[in-house]
Amino acid sequence: MTQGSTRRAIRLVVQSGLILVLLALLPTEIGAATMAVGVIQFNTFTPANPPDVAGVNMFLISNYTGVNSLHPDFPVDTAITFQSLELVLAIGAGTQSIPLSDIGPGDSGVLPELQFTDTLAISSATLIGNFSTAAQLTAYSFSTALMPSVGTNLVPDSDLAVIYADTVNTSAVPEPATLIVISTAAILFINKKRQDLRP
């Protein structure tokens, strides 16, 4: 083997090795997961004082992301804002749509537009909105339905629904089968080049 062919062989081995290392470091999608990011609940705000004073019920929307994440149940450490929110209430045979402000990590607080007399029969509530970030999420929008746990109408201090986000899990290390295929192909390629360089 001449000095020039030896250099070419060494260069080929180094290049093949670098390609193999770079391929091994690429992230590989290993699946999707649904993660809890918040809660919508129906609570008593002011108890009734019969017979003269009706009570007040309210919806509370909590965002458990970022600094408010609660591991392991609400594990999203990246702050996500719930945006373009709308709460759609089913009342009797009709619906009432209530636009809401954005909600960052924390909760909605006591909002007048989310308070109702306890005599109003609400059969369901659907929270519709968007997530502020697409980082690790497979969808920007969400819809969460709050349904009665008992009977036909929502029950204060009993009914709640979890808000979920679909996320993508990635790994910095390829799956073992992928690594075996890449390694085998690299070894075969290097052996073929070595055979081609022999006189």
pLDDT, tens only, 27-63: 555 556 789 999 999 999 999 998 889 999 999 999 9
Comparing C-alpha atoms, which of 42, 155, 34, 47 is closest to residue 108?
42
Task: Answer whether 99's CB lies under 8 Å from 57's CB.
Answer: no
Query: What's the distance, Cα to Cα, between the start and end of the chain in Å?
Result: 7
Is it the case that residue 11 has pLDDT exceeding 80?
no
Dist CA 133 CA 31 (whole Å): 19
Length of the chain equals: 199
Look at residue 85 and give its three-state secondary structure.
strand
The average pLDDT across 174-197 equals 66
Domain boundaries, the chain: 3-27+173-197, 30-170
Contact 145, 164 (CB under 8 A): no
